[in-house]
């Protein structure tokens, strides 16, 4: 990318429109059965390079529909002051496996990157964040902030986090925050006591968990993403 260029990419794999509306009898991902046989495999390589000064690449993804996802949209930050961003919501329900993350490769001076990853695991789903933040010797004053949160529902799912950090320049600042939590009984009971049915309550809490990613999405897509999440969570409670 050249000087001052901006790229915003929305990537997502989930149910299509028609599927969302007619989902009552079929809440499994397309082609995937209850034991994890079949389904779509989503193996993606995406990489963007910020060559110009002040250029910016922002990846935003919502992953809900594939049986197996391996996906790591990445940024090479070469231009001075260039910015890389990665915002991700990944949900693994039933027997789905989502292994996703990003690489932020800082080459130019004062390059900055932000990673926000929200992983939700339900059923027998396995969710993995796998990411690399690499600061090269030339990246004077580079900064990274990573936030990586996992939410677990039920007792048979898993959340895994593999953050790799390689810093070769002493002036760099790299921050990593991570959390793993369950949907709390207290939160759920609070919503129930206000008369909100359990499935709606779970959706509400999960959407709240994902808010810092959803607010990066354009309105239409944010609404779509919320619906997608609601559908993908069906049957995850109780």
Partner 1 sequence: MLEIKDLHASVGGRKVLDGISLSVPAGEVHAIMGPNGSGKSTLSYVLAGRPGYEVTGGSVLFRGQDLLALAPEERAQAGLFLGFQYPVEIPGVNNVYLLKAALNAARKHRGLPEVDAFEFLQLVRAKMKLMQMDEAFLSRGVNEGFSGGEKKRNEILQMLVLEPALALLDETDSGLDIDALKVVAQGVNTLRAPDRSIVLVTHYQRLLDHIRPDRVHVLARGRILRSGGPELALELEARGYDWLLAEAAA
3-state secondary structure of 214: helix
What span, in angstroms and rounded, lies between the C-alpha atoms of 143 and 135?
9
Q: Please say which residue, 174 or 206, places its beta carbon nearer to partner 1.
A: 206
Q: Please say which residue, 185 or 220, places its beta carbon nearer to partner 1.
A: 185
Q: How far is the CB of 117 from partner 1 (least distance, A)?
A: 15
Nearest CA to 218 among 71, 16, 23, 10?
Answer: 10
H or E element in which residue 136 lies: none
Cα-Cα-Cα-Cα torsion 21, 26, 32, 34, nearest 10 degrees, comes to 150
Among 210, 217, 228, 229, binds partner 1 (CB under 8 A): 210
Q: How far is the CB of 194 from partner 1 (least distance, A)?
A: 4
Q: How far is the CB of 210 from partner 1 (least distance, A)?
A: 7
Q: Please say which residue, 27 or 187, places its beta carbon nearer to partner 1.
A: 187
Sign of CA dihedral 72, 94, 65, 238: negative
Q: How far is the CB of 149 from partner 1 (least distance, A)?
A: 10
Which residue's entry shows tokens 């509400």?
Answer: 204
Residues 165-204 that bind partner 1 (CB under 8 A): 184-187, 189-198, 200, 204
What span, in angstroms and rounded, lies between the C-alpha atoms of 167 and 177?
17
238 binds partner 1 (CB under 8 A): no
For 185-218, what is the HEC assignment?
A: HHHHHHHHHCCCCHHHHHHHHHHHHCHHHHCCCC
Q: Please say which residue, 37 or 192, places its beta carbon nearer to partner 1.
A: 192
Residues 24-53 that bind partner 1 (CB under 8 A): none
Q: How far is the CB of 114 from partner 1 (least distance, A)?
A: 18
Q: How far is the CB of 53 from partner 1 (least distance, A)?
A: 35
Nearest CA to 79 among 107, 48, 99?
Answer: 107
Q: Please say which residue, 74 or 203, places its beta carbon nearer to partner 1.
A: 203
> Binding residues for partner 1, how many (CB under 8 A)?
23
Q: How far is the CB of 139 from partner 1 (least distance, A)?
A: 33
Quickly list H helices, 14-98.
Answer: 17-21
Of 133-141, 164-172, 209-217, 218-226, the window that binds partner 1 (rule: CB under 8 A) is 209-217
Q: What is the Rg, in whole angstroms, of the alpha carbon atoms belonging to the chain? A: 19
Give the other-Cβ count within 10 Å of 171's Cβ.
13
Q: Please say which residue, 180 or 207, places its beta carbon nearer to partner 1.
A: 207
207 binds partner 1 (CB under 8 A): yes
Cβ within 8 Å of residue 180, ≥6 positions away: 149, 150, 151, 152, 159, 161
Task: Give the residues lining the site for partner 1 (CB under 8 A).
Answer: 184-187, 189-198, 200, 204-205, 207-212
């Amino acid at each position: 990318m050249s000087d001052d260029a901006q790229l915003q990419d929305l990537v997502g794999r989930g149910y299509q429109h028609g599927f969302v509306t007619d989902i009552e009898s079929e809440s499994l991902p397309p082609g995937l059965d209850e034991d994890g046989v079949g389904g779509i495999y989503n193996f993606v390589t995406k990489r963007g390079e910020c060559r110009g000064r002040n250029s910016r690449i922002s990846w935003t993804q919502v992953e809900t529909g594939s049986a197996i996802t391996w996906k790591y949209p990445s940024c090479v930050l070469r231009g001075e002051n260039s910015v890389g961003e990665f915002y991700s919501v990944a949900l693994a329900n039933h027997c789905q496996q989502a292994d996703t993350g990003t690489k932020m490769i800082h080459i130019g001076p004062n390059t900055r990157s932000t990673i926000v990853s929200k992983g939700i695991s339900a059923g027998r789903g396995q969710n993995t964040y796998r990411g690399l933040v690499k600061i090269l010797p030339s990246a004077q004053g580079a900064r990274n902030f990573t936030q990586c949160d996992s939410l677990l529902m039920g007792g048979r799912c898993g959340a895994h986090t593999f953050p790799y950090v390689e810093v070769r320049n002493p002036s760099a600042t790299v921050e990593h925050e991570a959390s793993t939590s369950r949907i709390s009984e207290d939160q759920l009971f609070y919503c129930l006591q206000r008369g909100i049915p359990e499935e709606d309550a779970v959706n509400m809490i999960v959407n709240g968990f994902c808010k810092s990613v959803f607010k990066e999405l354009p309105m239409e897509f944010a609404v779509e993403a919320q619906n997608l999440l609601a559908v993908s969570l069906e049957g995850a409670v109780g």
